[in-house]
A and B are shown apart, each in its own frame.
Chain A
């Protein structure tokens, strides 16, 4: 509820008709929890500029862990003022409070109007110039601040508040010093836990919405920047700072993120994985330049970015390496860098290596593993040790075997001719069958048919890998005919 409504004496639980009676021009809109949720997430994203530890407190709040961050903004009070002012400029009314515990901050932010005026007692209240109540609870003053607040401030449901009111308990002072056992028995364990959390007797941590980076560096601009050159320059500069931090830890980044805070509150996040631990600023800049080039208009600077943050999300050990005197050559780091560049542009999943799998089913015998995760292992590949003058496995395999029409001399013999993609092929040479049964120990449905593979060469010399599905007379009985497929192409 905004200040104007407050002055009119409206309250949030009022019926619309009553509110209209007091203020006829009241605009009404249907509740849209989904849009509210999206806005909440967007604002939480924006709050990231103050601390990486931002938790959501649905439906209408955030929890920021500003431990060790406040001094960067000139103290807790200044941080609060900055946050509320910036939100007000975006048209959002907010109340903020800083306290030792989550519970107390929650209570003060929402029920500050119940507090005694500033100067009375040890609690300090400060009304800032936009007229939003913002409270900083001094260290050790938790109890004094909480005492006069109503019980709703304890983060308990309305039913419990009503039940307590029936018993004549209205504010926190009424329950704080009562014996705990009867309270817990009557109003639930949760009620007692909330009291403990507000007072700091029980620990409560903020669950961050985004993973907390290992290390980060950020840069704020008094005047928003919008040029790609400037953004990349800043990224390089930040990478320098981040690199120093990582160097002290003896680590390099495997996953990095640049958060671009637009002046109007939107936040763009570019994430980038690397094949090997990295902390070279020039390389970081290059990778993000590739990434930005692909994103293009998706990363719209709008009125410019007023803050940039570079963070290392995942790090790995990176020891300094002695480089050879002979100059660059077959340095594994160069290959990793190439993988990074290709990955930055096309996505790391698109750069892959082939790794054998321990199965004899042809289509599963090999897997494309993202190159940055590949281990380069070798394993036994069934089938390829067969003795033949020509290779026994095709160089290209169709993901979906292509059905063909065949003519064979006998139903369980090799094909004499076949039609693939409407072209008739006369078979001149055949090797096979190579019988590959399905893995009955894995496939418990048991409906997979045995395949008989043939390597065939047609009149023009093209070599292909065909198979017949089902053992004729056993798995496929007359009058049904077995199906034929073309599975791959040889060189």
Chain B
């Protein structure tokens, strides 16, 4: 991409942002962000995961839900600042995929006393609670699990969440149990799979490893990384990197905004 192309691209993005009425600072590299600590990922994200914004996570298959849950917890553990995080779980999610297990959270790096848990009966309730949580200023991160795709979290609903997150300045994570084709107003979208860990010297399990695919990014290019999590240091490190070039045709890759 030449300098002229880059300038055109940035001008167009600015124009779109103005039409959408969205916060321009979100587009600027180095805006308020949560760095992951893994340089290649942060570079693509423009400094880190945008704060005051909504991000969507989904496992590529039900088997990899553990990895997606883990990634959300790791991000919440890094978001920190001593503020608690709110985890919203529909009743069905707990029976289907297990309830959050306190000692496991502490072991992964998010002390269980920092987590506030909310159980709701319907997905709509989860979205309402998420909006309240994002607006409240008192939470570092709000994570809502959604077991079914479609209806509940459509473009309008996610846009509400984005606005609420911008007011509150916290991080919002929508953790879908399966990948949804639905258009969404989220700033980034991640497809997550667990990856075989590098065994330790005795052949035991290595550090928690997973593959992250960034399939939507409003700030820049997409990418795919295999990452490791050090639960003692609470840091990510990238094992392998595959970053797509900043593509002028990116809208074709990201989900299309639905008309009407």
- Tell whether A396 is near chain B: CB-to-CB under 8 Å: yes
Type the 1/0 row for B171-214, where 1 means its CB is closer than 8 Å to any CB of A.
Answer: 00000000000000000000001111101100111111110000
Q: Is the CB of A365 within 8 A of B102?
A: yes
- Tell whether B149 is near chain A: CB-to-CB under 8 Å: no
Q: Is the CB of A350 within 8 A of B98?
A: no
Q: Is the CB of B71 within 8 A of A491?
A: yes
Type the 1/0 row for A312-349, where 1 means its CB is closer than 8 Å to any CB of B.
Answer: 00000000000000001111001101110110011000
Inter-chain CA distance A430–B205, complex, in Å, is 7
Chain B contacts for A345, CB-based, 8 A: 125, 128-129
- Tell whether B118 is near chain A: CB-to-CB under 8 Å: yes
Chain B contacts for A423, CB-based, 8 A: 63
Inter-chain CA distance A334–B168, complex, in Å, is 13
Q: Which of A331, A337, A384, A399 contacts B99 (CB 8 A)?
A: A399
Inter-chain CA distance A345–B125, complex, in Å, is 9
Given A356-B112, A388-B205, A462-B67, the answer on whether A429 and B103 have CB atoms closer than 8 Å is no
Chain B contacts for A337, CB-based, 8 A: 136
Could you say which of A41-49, A52-60, A185-193, A453-461 contacts chain B? A453-461
Q: Is the CB of A429 within 8 A of B204?
A: yes
Chain A contacts for B98, CB-based, 8 A: 394, 396-399, 488-489
Type the 1/0 row for B80-103, where 1 means its CB is closer than 8 Å to any CB of A.
Answer: 011110100000001101111111
Given A356-B102, A376-B113, A462-B63, the answer on whether A389 and B205 have CB atoms closer than 8 Å is yes
Task: Kindly provide the distance from the CB of B87 to the nearest chain A CB, expressed in whole angstroms.
Answer: 10
Q: Is the CB of A396 within 8 A of B206?
A: no
Q: Is the CB of B137 within 8 A of A328?
A: yes
Task: Kindly provide the distance from the CB of A392 to the nearest chain B CB, expressed in whole angstroms.
Answer: 6
Chain A contacts for B206, CB-based, 8 A: 389-390, 429
- Tell whether B138 is near chain A: CB-to-CB under 8 Å: yes
Inter-chain CA distance A214–B128, complex, in Å, is 34
Q: Which of B104, B105, B129 contacts A346 (CB 8 A)?
A: B129
- Chain A residues within 8 Å of chain B by Cβ, number: 59
- Tell whether A283 is near chain B: CB-to-CB under 8 Å: no
Inter-chain CA distance A378–B98, complex, in Å, is 23
Inter-chain CA distance A371–B74, complex, in Å, is 23
Given A429-B197, A489-B65, the answer on whether A353 and B113 have CB atoms closer than 8 Å is yes
Q: Is the CB of B84 within 8 A of A390?
A: no
Inter-chain CA distance A31–B196, complex, in Å, is 75
Inter-chain CA distance A490–B205, complex, in Å, is 11
Inter-chain CA distance A200–B174, complex, in Å, is 69
Task: Kindly provide the distance from the CB of A33 to the nearest chain B CB, expressed in whole angstroms.
Answer: 38
Task: Kindly provide the distance from the CB of B96 to the nearest chain A CB, expressed in whole angstroms.
Answer: 10
Q: Which of B86, B111, B138, B203 contacts A330 (CB 8 A)?
A: B138
Which of A335, A394, A460 gathers the greatest number of chain B CB atoms within 10 Å? A394
- Tell whether A165 is near chain B: CB-to-CB under 8 Å: no
- Tell whether A211 is near chain B: CB-to-CB under 8 Å: no
Main secondary structure of the interface of B (DSSP, over half): mixed
Task: Kindly provide the distance from the CB of A341 to the nearest chain B CB, expressed in whole angstroms.
Answer: 6
Inter-chain CA distance A457–B210, complex, in Å, is 12
Q: Is the CB of A393 within 8 A of B118?
A: no
Given A354-B102, A368-B117, A396-B100, the answer on whether A457 and B66 have CB atoms closer than 8 Å is no
Q: Is the CB of A455 within 8 A of B205?
A: yes
Q: Is the CB of B112 within 8 A of A354?
A: yes
- Tell whether B229 is near chain A: CB-to-CB under 8 Å: yes
- Tell whether B11 is near chain A: CB-to-CB under 8 Å: no
Closest to A402 in B: B98
393-438 of chain A: CB within 8 A of chain B: 393-399, 423, 428-431
Q: Which of A351, A362, A461 contacts B195 (CB 8 A)?
A: A461
Which of B65, B66, B115, B199 gathers the greatest number of chain A CB atoms within 10 Å? B66
470-491 of chain A: CB within 8 A of chain B: 488-491
Inter-chain CA distance A54–B65, complex, in Å, is 56
Q: Is the CB of B133 within 8 A of A395?
A: no
Task: Kindly provide the distance from the CB of B119 to the nearest chain A CB, expressed in whole angstroms.
Answer: 5
- Tell whether A101 is near chain B: CB-to-CB under 8 Å: no
Given A395-B73, A399-B95, A461-B193, the answer on whether A488 and B101 have CB atoms closer than 8 Å is yes
- Tell whether A391 is near chain B: CB-to-CB under 8 Å: yes
Closest to A356 in B: B102
Inter-chain CA distance A391–B110, complex, in Å, is 12
Interface residues of B (CB under 8 A from A): 63-67, 69-71, 73-74, 81-84, 86, 94-95, 97-108, 111-113, 115-121, 125, 128-129, 132-133, 136-139, 193-197, 199-200, 203-210, 229, 231
Q: Would you list 26 pairs from A and B whose C-beta atoms are within 8 A, ordered by A residue?
A: A334-B136, A338-B136, A338-B138, A342-B132, A346-B118, A351-B116, A354-B112, A356-B112, A365-B102, A365-B103, A371-B117, A388-B205, A389-B197, A396-B66, A396-B99, A397-B101, A429-B197, A429-B204, A430-B204, A457-B196, A460-B63, A461-B195, A462-B67, A488-B101, A489-B69, A490-B208
Q: Which 7 pairs show the lowest CB-CB distances between chains A and B? A: A491-B70, A396-B98, A366-B102, A489-B66, A354-B102, A391-B107, A397-B101
Interface residues of A (CB under 8 A from B): 328-331, 334-335, 337-339, 341-342, 345-346, 350-356, 362, 365-366, 368, 371, 376, 378, 381, 383-384, 388-399, 423, 428-431, 455, 457, 459-464, 488-491
